[in-house]
Each structure stands twice: as structure tokens, then as C-alpha cells.
Amino acid sequence: MFTLSEENYLKAIFHLEMMSGTGISTNAIASKLETKASSVTDMVKKLAEKQVLVYKKYQGVSLTKSGKTTAARIVRKHRLWEVFLVEKLNFSWDEVHDVAEQLEHIKSPKLTRELDAFLGFPKTDPHGDPIPDHEGRFDSVEKRLLSSLKENEVGVCVGVDDSSSNFLQYLDKNGISLGEKIEVLSIESFDGSLSIKVAGKVLSISSKIATNIYIQS
């Protein structure tokens, strides 16, 4: 069994390994969890003793098989609860993250199993992220950044990279949501900003925005 703090470390390392492969640095973990490197060193020693990760001084850490499964199950719960909040309790996609951060630590295998069934075994959460199964497996949707499209190409929005309330509200305001068709009308070579057509309306978005939207084409 893991403490709340241990679970948060495992999840952070899991996400970091997802992005940048194995051998996650103390500093990377510290900045993701908004804590200090020295605290991370202490904690990874403890987690190494519990066999959920391998730690070699000055070399960073890597999750073991068991560590990956444990972390994926927390992510599974996080995303199932996000679906619940949006589908059943009228939350919008920018309101769910903080509550899910709490709910993901509830310990009850039956609860997770039944919640999954109650929601109809969803495959993705409200931000387009895949929901791992009980064993921690999930199929990664093939997707590209909107910024990788060329002029006159089209795609369907299937996810976001940044799930902050700020960014999601910006998307809402501009009619961009999951499943929406996006057409790139033109690209400004000077600053990489795009003119796009979405939901019948033309709008201009910065390159920063375009690198936080995933599309399928």
C-alpha cells in the first residue's frame, strides 16, 4: 500500500517517463511536483526499497514493472473520475482536474471497477487522454500536433497537451472542442501563427496554442 505522497511521486515519474523515456532526473521530478530536489532524493530512496523503481545515485530513476502498473492505476482512476464529473455531474472539462487529483487516491478496487462499468467503459477522458485498464495497458491514440499541419490540411481535434483551466476556457471561448473539425487556412511564416476555420468560424491562433492541440488527420 502506498501513501498519498508516494502515489503522487509515482504518477509524476510515470508521466515524465511517458514524455522523455527512462532515467528521470531528480530535478525533473522536483519541478513537476513543485517540491525540492532534496525531498525527491529522500522519497525515491524509499520507493526504491519498495521495489517500484530503480534508483542509482546521480543517474535518475526508472519505474519497475510493478511501479508502472501502480502508477497507471492511479492515472486510470484520475481519468475515470474526470469522465464521471463531466458526463454525470455537469462539470466542464476545465473544472475536473483538481477534484480528480483528490479522487484518484481513493482505495477500493470494487469502486474503480463499478465506476468504469457505470460510465460504459470509456476509452478516453474529457481531454482525449487514454484510460488505462486495470493491468495498466492502454492504446495510445495516434495523433499529431495541430502545428504540424500544412496550409489547407484538415484534422479533427482529439486531445490537448495542456489541461489547465486557462487554456481549456480559451478553447471553449473559440468553439474548439474534442471531435471538432479544424482546417488550416494559412500559416504566418514570421511567427508561426495560424489562421484556422473551426465550427464555421475563421480565427487566428498563436503557434503556442497550435502546439497544445492534438489532431487526427
Partner DNA sequence: AAATATTTTTAGTCTTGTCTAAAAAATTAT
Partner DNA sequence: ATAATTTTTTAGACAAGACTAAAAATATTT
**Residue 121 touching its own copies (CB under 8 A):** no
CA distance 198 to 209: 14
Of the candidates 138, 133, 143, 139, the residue with the CA atom closest to the CA atom of residue 213:
143
CA atoms within 13 A on the CB side of 72: 19
Residue 127 binding result from DNA, its own copies, Mn ion, none, given CB thresholds of 5 to 8 Å by partner type: Mn ion
Q: Which range of residues in 14-22, 42-50, 66-74, 94-102 is near its own copies by CB under 8 A?
A: 94-102
In the numeric block, the cell 510515470 is attached to: 14
In the complex, what is the shortest distance from the CB of residue 189 to DNA, in angstroms, rounded to a whole number?
29
Residue 85 binding result from Mn ion, DNA, its own copies, none, given CB thresholds of 5 to 8 Å by partner type: its own copies
Phi, psi (deg, nearest 5) at residue 11:
-65, -40
Beta strands in 33-82, from DSSP E residues, in sequence order? 53-55, 61-63
Among 34, 98, 142, 191, binds its own copies (CB under 8 A): 98
**Residue 164 or 186 having the CB closest to Mn ion:** 164
Residue 27 binding result from Mn ion, DNA, its own copies, none, given CB thresholds of 5 to 8 Å by partner type: DNA
| Residues found near DNA in the complex (CB under 7 A) | 3-6, 25-28, 35-46, 55, 57-60
Radius of gyration of the chain from its Cα atoms, rounded to whole angstroms: 19
Q: What is the signed CA dihedral for 176, 181, 187, 193, rounded to 10 degrees?
A: 10
CA distance 118 to 110: 12
Contacts to Mn ion from residues 114-133, by CB under 5 A: 125, 127, 129
Contacts to Mn ion from residues 25-84, by CB under 5 A: 82
Please report, as ranges, the residues that interact with Mn ion according to CB under 5 A: 82, 97, 125, 127, 129
Binding-site ranges for its own copies (CB under 8 A): 85, 88-91, 95, 98-99, 102-103, 106-108, 110-111, 114-115, 118
